Chains A and B, each alone.
Chain A
Amino acid sequence: MKNKDSISHVTGTSIYIDDIITRSDTLHGVIFASQKAHGKIISIDYSEAEKLEGVERIFTFKDIKGENQIGGIIQDEALWAKDEVHYAGQPIALIVAKSSFIARQARGLISIEIEEFKVITTASEAKEKKLFVSNPRHFSIGNTEEAFNECTYIFEDVTFTNGQEHLYLETQGCYVCPEENGHFKIYSSTQGPTILQKIAARVLGIPMYQIEVDVLRLGGGFGGKEDQATSWGVMAAVAAQHLNVPIKIILDRHDDIKFTGKRHPYESSFKIGLTKDLKIHAFEADFLQNSGASADLSPAVAERTLFHATNCYSIKNVHTSVYPCKTNLPPNTAFRGFGGPQGMFVIESAIAKAAHQIGVCKSIIQKKNLLQENDIFSYGQIAKNVETENSWNLAMELSNFSIIKEEIKQFNKNNKYIKKGMAIMPITFGISFTNTSMNHARALVHIYLDGSVGISTAAVEMGQGVNTKMLQIASQEFGIDASKIKIESTNTTRVANTSPSAASSTTDLNGKALLKACIVLKNRLINIAARELLSDKKDLKFENNYVINLTQTKKISWEELITIAALERVQLSEKAHYATPEIYFDKKAEKGHPFAYHVYGTSVTTITLDCIRGTYEIDQVDIAHDFGKSMNLDIDLGQIEGGLVQGIGWMTLEEIAYNKEGILTSNSLSTYKIPDVFAVPKKINIKAIETNGNDLAIYKSKAVGEPPLMYGIGTYFAIQDAIQNFNPNYEQKFHAPFTPEKVLLALYES
């Protein structure tokens, strides 16, 4: 089945927040934010701005009736700054005016005096001053100290991975309508409707039931709208609470980039030890996470870095630490991979370093250390249904590895100024929220009197195709055509207390809940069908709009069945709850079984490097990926391609730049470049490995959202490989992204 929104997407009729036809008395909000990264607010003069015709009112912390607090995991973040500012782009006020144009004009009339404090922009600086947003964490297995003594080779180095702007094409936004009795309906582009509802209630000082959050779809999220879509909705709600008119906030692109957090930059260091036969015997890493000015989701992101610090390698002695460092940048946040990619980059760097120093191909060390069945991860979970070696072998086959490798060798011999490079990137990624308590979802199914069906879940559609998969589940279970089923907006009054759509697990969690609801309804309906058809209900199935017996001699149409059920007062609505079983994690011991299952795969990347200009093209990426039993290969392949390209962007072009004063200089699409049609691999081949899947995934499929991003890491090492073929004096560095600048300087360093 194609993405269920395809037709409205291609005709431009799909509705996003900014497309909602608003009430005529709607006012528009623009955020006034700090232009300094750290300091004390001495004075602010709003008088000129307030005088501008069309400006209705300017809201600040003084107008908050509840708490000025939007922090999630840790309550350390104000909605509007009161006395101090901690990052450039921190909201101070909301200007509400007849149009966003007027509000922007007014913003230019506000004068503010700030006594500037020292600005910290890097994680290492913050660590030195012991500034953390949450406690450091340490994962350990075996004994690295002893193990290093048993190693033939030991290598150490430092690495850096930069942040990444989400660059969802639809910027952040919301539309808040006051309803009767001090209630509010918030239309938001958020991945976390409940988070918004909860925080809005807290800030407005009202119970959660007075806030209804509704999400139709997102024009992309990628983690950037998990926690960070909240504040805009809350600000608009505060204004609506005072003015009793609808308030709309749509961030323009510059505001969005400047105000919101990004993927966390990491400064890391590693020590890797190998035995004589190239087995990785010991691995240590320190991860310095640049968390930004408040915790946001950083503690959870940090934790996942440790979960993925050994990627898909079997290492018996591991000690890893992560330090969530408090800096004067916007609070960094969730981004597809959620700390995992940063962890994997370090182990891949360590292997690359070892290989280069020892003088073997990186793939030899990778291959020798691939994860095996029943290996134990450093966090105590036992690896099951491991597909690492299988995916490795299939990727070798798919890419004709040995032939291509020889061709590249020849090519590099024959070409002076053009070099090719190659890298293999095996991955494994754990599926579940690592915070066990978040692994739950609910679904509500209504069968209407005419047999059409309405479904609500906690899942938020943001392009990942979750609603299409929900449609498939209901269609398959009821045996009715998808055209009879509507997937409703995600709404906190229909499905309450939801987890955000994140952690790749939205389809698993919501799909399982939906499946349960459908089964209950089917059981109810089949009793009627059995009676009407004089059949044993064991012999009946839901198929092609009928309930039909095995010999296909007797059948009753879905509509007829529903008509009878309704007349007999049978309950035609059902709600179900699903919570992932088996998973747990003990944060004191840092051991447990946090993941429902793991996803596996391997990519092979080849690139061509122009050694005169320092530019490169990605020729091909071959991927063997473990889909379990894919529910929808059209959608899943799209996730692989899109994830890969996002990972490539992170590794190559996408360069976040803050100056020493903590001001973002890559603050527009003309200074922050994401891949375009020419920047992506010329060819992407994907081999879908059909594996047994997992019972904890819907229909034995496997989650697909985040894992493919990490295939992009291979691009970094393919470029490095090509550079090494040109410049023997190049000293390996692990500093992503590998921009044309870094490439050219590497090509000509002596």
Chain B
Amino acid sequence: MIEFILNNKTIKTSVHQGEPLVDFLREYRNLKGTKIGCREGDCGACTILIGELHDDNVIYHSITSCISPLGNVHGKHVVTVEGISLENGLNRVQEEMISNNGTQCGFCTPGFVVSLTGFAIKKTQHNHNPLNTFQDVISGNICRCTGYKSIEKAGEIINNSLKGFSIKNSINDLIQHQFLPSYFATIPEKLKNIPKKENPKKGKIVASGSDLYVQQADHLRKKDVHLITLNKEHQTIQQKEKTCFIGANTTVSHLLENSIFLKQIPKLPEFLKKVSSEQIRNMGTLGGNFVNASPIGDLSVFFLALNAVLHIKNPHGNLREVHLKDFYKGYKTYDLKENEIIETVSFKILEKNASFNFEKVSKRTHLDIASVNSAMQIEIIENQITNIHLSIGGVAPIPFYAKNTVSFLNQNELNEENIEKSLEILNDEIAPISDIRGTSAYKRLLAKQLVKAHFITLFPNLF
């Protein structure tokens, strides 16, 4: 039995927990406001809000319900467009969408309305998340009619009207200022009454589902699924001496909101803004990105340059460690046995003289899969490279650690000549193929340009 609150109703259902959430909403509950546009998390028409109990507060974030298993909402508050109108009319977001002509054919509109209502909540609840402009929050919503400017105008007005809301009492403030219907105030108590669910440990391991449900929704909707993020296991970020430990179920948004991690990588918001969309960042986990094993996985590339170590647990509870750069064995194959699970990821915190950069170029800058992406960590002492890690995606069957380039640059002097030489070495050790993300010639050129971009960005005076 799955129990949760759907808008202002408590739901108990025995529908299979692998069913895509959007189908449960539309087919079992007749909530037709949540639309199906793509079923792969790429259009945002099915955006909903998920509220989770943290102490006495319910913290909300947006997700795409098409690639989310129903089972993951147990014990949570699910908010659809039907649940955000006020008892006696429209909420502020709906009003502003109308006033600013933010709707034309209307099909994407519920998704935008939910995302922007989520923005109002995020702005007050997650004020430490640096990616909280109104544009960031609709980064996963696609509209084919308006050209977005009218929706942006609505977002800007909403943004301005949120100034001065208290963090502590945000939901009440939002109710008072007509952003949310009043029933939201009753949700924390209701959620407390929902018993925790035992998670059956059999079937396909699914975290948020944001990757698996893109390709395998029809398969998973009938088969056993083992939902590993249901009870928030392995979502912590800790620093122990000079090592940072991140739970593998940590989402991209968790990374953004964590001060330990942000301190390591001050430009994190700029980097992660290019990683999928708000909705997917709220869902996608670090471990999921690693085991997806895409040669172009943003987080794999990112953590390769942090020289990360994976802590892998087997069903008996035994842990082993493997470097991320040794984890990948070939296209979509990696060093993980049946029933083993990545529990934690760790990396050495950056030294004082070290800096980090991440580059990504895709056809569309945001919410797109990279043609080539790259990350570099580099430590310089007196113009000498004393430590360097360089990774590139999209140039090999696996997320690629540029071993030869690294060994050339390491302990070498940092100058333009050596950088140019390193690009030649890089050119010899990569082997991009032509595909929908670009021709091999393009990727080869782009890979070199992005490595150059690391140096231009980190050491502008050199050029």
Contacts and interface: CB of A to CB of B under 8 A. Distances in A.
Contact of B82 (A12, A668, A741): A12
29 contacts: A9-B106, A10-B103, A11-B110, A12-B113, A19-B32, A101-B218, A169-B35, A169-B43, A169-B107, A170-B35, A219-B108, A462-B105, A463-B105, A463-B106, A612-B453, A613-B449, A637-B101, A641-B147, A645-B147, A665-B436, A668-B42, A673-B368, A675-B364, A676-B139, A677-B151, A677-B152, A740-B361, A740-B371, A744-B449
Interface residues of B, number: 75
Interface string A204-233: 000000000000011110100000000000
Contacts of A10: 90, 93-94, 97-98, 103, 109-110, 113
A217 B105 contact: yes
Contacts of A666: 436
The 5 tightest CB contacts between A and B, nearest first, are A12-B33, A463-B105, A219-B107, A9-B106, A645-B147
Contact of A669 (B38, B135, B221, B371): B38
A470 to B, nearest CB: 16
B40 A220 contact: no
Interface stretch (B193-201, B202-210, B323-331, B438-446): B438-446
B214 A670 contact: yes
Nearest to A99: B27
A384 to B, nearest CB: 30
Interface of A: 2-3, 5-16, 18-19, 21, 101, 104-105, 166-171, 217-220, 222, 252-253, 416-417, 462-465, 612-615, 634-635, 637-638, 641-646, 653, 655, 657, 665-666, 668-671, 673-680, 684, 739-741, 744-745, 748
Given A12-B81, A219-B105, A646-B144, A669 B42 contact: yes
B363 A638 contact: no
A170 B108 CA distance: 8
Contact of B141 (A646, A671, A677, A740): A677
A366 B418 CA distance: 48
A745 B446 CA distance: 9
Interface of B: 30, 32-40, 42-43, 45, 80-82, 85, 90, 93-94, 97-99, 101, 103-110, 113, 135, 138-139, 141-152, 214, 218, 221, 359, 361-369, 371, 436, 438-439, 441-442, 445-446, 449-450, 452-453, 456, 463
A170 B105 contact: yes
Contact of B37 (A169, A217, A642, A740): A169
A13 B34 CA distance: 10
B147 A684 contact: yes
Contacts of A641: 146-150
Contacts of B144: 166-169, 220, 222, 642, 646, 674
Nearest to B112: A10
A638 B42 contact: no
Residue with the highest number of chain B CB atoms closer than 10 Å, among A7, A8, A167, A741: A741
B36 A657 contact: no
B75 to A, nearest CB: 25
B452 A612 contact: yes
Contacts of B149: 641, 680, 684
Contact of A3 (B34, B101, B135, B367): B101
Given A19-B32, A615-B361, A642 B104 contact: yes
A161 B239 CA distance: 54
A739 B363 contact: yes
Nearest to A256: B38
Nearest to A16: B107
B449 A638 contact: no
A718 B384 CA distance: 42
Nearest to A668: B40
Contacts of A252: 39
Contacts of A675: 147-148, 364
Contacts of B43: 169, 669
A19 B101 CA distance: 24
B143 to A, nearest CB: 7
Contact of B103 (A6, A222, A671): A6
The main secondary structure of chain B at its interface with chain A is loop
Contacts of A5: 103, 106
Given A463-B105, A673-B368, A745 B151 contact: no
Contact of B218 (A9, A12, A104, A646): A104
Contacts of B81: 11-12
B104 A677 contact: no
A169 B45 contact: yes
Contacts of B93: 10
A11 B449 contact: no
A725 B146 CA distance: 33
A744 B104 contact: no
A614 B361 CA distance: 8
Contacts of B371: 740-741
Given A11-B85, A677-B135, A678-B365, A217 B38 contact: no
A56 B138 CA distance: 42
Contacts of B145: 220, 463, 638, 642
A670 B367 CA distance: 9
Contacts of A634: 101
A740 B152 CA distance: 25
A104 B442 CA distance: 38
Contact of A21 (B30, B40, B143, B364): B30
Contact of B38 (A8, A463, A668): A668
Residue with the highest number of chain A CB atoms closer than 10 Å, among B43, B365, B450: B365
Residue with the highest number of chain B CB atoms closer than 10 Å, among A3, A638, A675: A638
B229 to A, nearest CB: 23
Contacts of A744: 442, 445-446, 449
A253 B148 contact: no
A638 B40 contact: no
B148 to A, nearest CB: 5
B442 A676 contact: no
Nearest to B457: A612
Contacts of B148: 641, 645, 675-677, 680
A652 to B, nearest CB: 9
Nearest to B138: A677
Residue with the highest number of chain B CB atoms closer than 10 Å, among A8, A614, A673, A680: A673
Contacts of B214: 670
Contacts of B369: 670
Contacts of A741: 363, 371, 438-439, 442
A7 B436 contact: no
B230 to A, nearest CB: 24
A13 to B, nearest CB: 7
A12 B142 contact: no
A739 B149 CA distance: 23
Contacts of A655: 363
Contacts of A676: 139, 141-142, 148, 364, 366-367
A657 B32 contact: no
A11 B33 contact: yes
Contact of B449 (A462, A614, A684): A614
A463 B108 CA distance: 11
A10 B151 CA distance: 12
A506 to B, nearest CB: 14
Contacts of A7: 90, 94, 98
Contacts of B366: 676, 678-679
A2 to B, nearest CB: 6
B449 to A, nearest CB: 6
A465 B139 contact: no
Contacts of A101: 218, 221
Contacts of A16: 35, 107
A217 B106 contact: yes
A220 B143 CA distance: 10
A253 B371 CA distance: 23
A504 to B, nearest CB: 15
Contacts of A11: 33, 81-82, 85, 90, 94, 110
Nearest to B85: A11
A319 to B, nearest CB: 36
